[in-house]
Structure 1
Amino acid sequence: MKLMTAKVAAAALAVFGAAPALAGGPTEAYVEPTVAPAPAPVAAPSADWSGFYAGGQLGYGDVGGVVEGSGFTSGLIAGYRADFGQFVAGVEANYDWTDIDLAGGAATLDNVARLKLIGGYDLGPALVYGTVAAARAESSLGSDDGYAYGVGMDYAVTDRVTVGAELLEHKFDNYLGVGDVDATTFNTRVGFRF
């Protein structure tokens, strides 16, 4: 009987001792998977619109009123802006050369100069603004003063370079005593901040 009990005990030990081997063997310690760090974000251009800038613009002008005509324009811009957080204010001077035939070629619009006040909203790399300006138009008939108003947008490509567009409406009341002249200009712009 002792022999039988010893054989049963040995068989039970063999069965239960082999159980871990049958269940997949010895267990290994759990290792927490590592997560790679997220890539560093690319720095956006500065959202600070403060400072001086200068550049150029190309556009198109359409003149109406007592004289009519249309054509391409090109010019220079220079100004200063102050960024107050979400609000941006500034002044700008620009000068456009034109060669717009007026009244079927009887006269030409030679250039337009503007001194502008700008107020805008800082959207980070974009600036949306409105503007009012004193304007002076010079033609083959002479020069006269008027005013302009409009909207524009500049976008910071880098901390130093901006691109943009501007739409202006010009009013010259009783231009050279002849009558009212209106002009619409659309300009694309490139500016360099310093």
Structure 2
Amino acid sequence: MKAIGYATLVSLIAGGAYAGGYVAPVVEQPVIAPVEMIAPAPVGNWDGFYAGLQYGKGSGDLGDRGALPDFGDFDAYGLHAGYQRGFNKFVLGGELDYNKVSPDENYSDGDMTRLRLRAGYDAGKFLPYVTLGAAKLDTDEFSDTGMTYGLGVDYKVAEHFTVGAEYTRNAFKDVLQDSAGVDGNDLDMDLVQVRASYKF
């Protein structure tokens, strides 16, 4: 009986030792706040109305002008306004512009008004584009309507402000008579301009 009592006592002591034995301390893991990724500011789109100013220089060639003086170099400056809309990465629109054309010599100052379509590609801050339309040129010597086409690129300085550069060719048919009074002098005008626009 003593043996059974001792065995029971040892069993109880061992169980108590196990129950109240060493417990490893609980170490709380530090809470790490999630890092917020700062997304770059959106560039925005090219949709909407815009208006601005342009200035540039060009050269006019009368082709087979006979006894007539060549049109020569000229300054061109004025205003433009238009609307464009994006379709995925493509941007389509229309523009009306006015230029005061000032030849260096031989011909009087003139007015050139153009109505053009524009088709461009949205490359973020850049918008390369092509343009095609009609142009009307009025001077003291002649008045004629012809074709205009070209290419350019706009750069978005800020959400509502862009700058750009553009080349156009403006072609007019039978604008002047030669010394014998015969029509047939075509005028081709190459024009390079810088532009600044505000988008509303």
TM category (shorter chain) comes to 0.7 to 0.9
Distance 2:99 2:112 in 1: 5
Secondary structure of the structure 2 residue equivalent to 1:128: strand
Q: What is the aligned partner in structure 2 of residue 73 from structure 1?
A: 76
The total of aligned residue pairs comes to: 160
Are 1:181 and 2:187 an aligned pair? yes
**Structure 1: unaligned runs, 5 residues or longer:** 1-28
Q: What is the aligned partner in structure 1 of residue 128 from structure 2?
A: 128
Are 1:43 and 2:37 an aligned pair? no
Distance 2:132 2:187 in 1: 18
Q: Contact between 1:44 and 1:125, CA under 8 Å: does it hold in 2?
A: no
Deviation at 1:143, TM superposition (A): 1.2
Q: What is the aligned partner in structure 2 of residue 190 from structure 1?
A: 196
Q: What is the aligned partner in structure 1 of residue 146 from structure 2?
A: 146
Are 1:60 and 2:66 an aligned pair? no
TM-score, L = length of structure 2: 0.73
Partner amino acid, structure 2, of 1:128: P
Distance 2:186 2:76 in 1: 21
The percentage of counterpart residues that share the same residue type is 35
- Two-structure CA RMSD over aligned residues (Å): 2.2
Deviation at 1:138, TM superposition (A): 1.3
Secondary structure of the structure 2 residue equivalent to 1:55: strand
Distance 1:96 1:151 in 2: 17
Partner amino acid, structure 2, of 1:134: A
Identify the structure with the greater strand proportion.
1
Deviation at 1:68, TM superposition (A): 2.4
Distance 1:106 1:178 in 2: 19
Q: Contact between 1:45 and 1:157, CA under 8 Å: does it hold in 2?
A: no
Partner amino acid, structure 2, of 1:171: A
Moved over 2 A (4+): 37-42
Partner amino acid, structure 1, of 2:187: V
Partner amino acid, structure 1, of 2:133: A
TM-score, L = length of structure 1: 0.75
Deviation at 1:178, TM superposition (A): 4.8
Are 1:137 and 2:137 an aligned pair? yes
Deviation at 1:115, TM superposition (A): 0.2
Deviation at 1:124, TM superposition (A): 1.2
Residues 5-57 of structure 1, C-alpha deviation per residue, up to 9 Å, x if partnerless? Answer: xxxxxxxxxxxxxxxxxxxxxxxx9x99x9xx6883552531x1110000000
Q: Contact between 2:118 and 2:132, CA under 8 Å: does it hold in 1?
A: yes
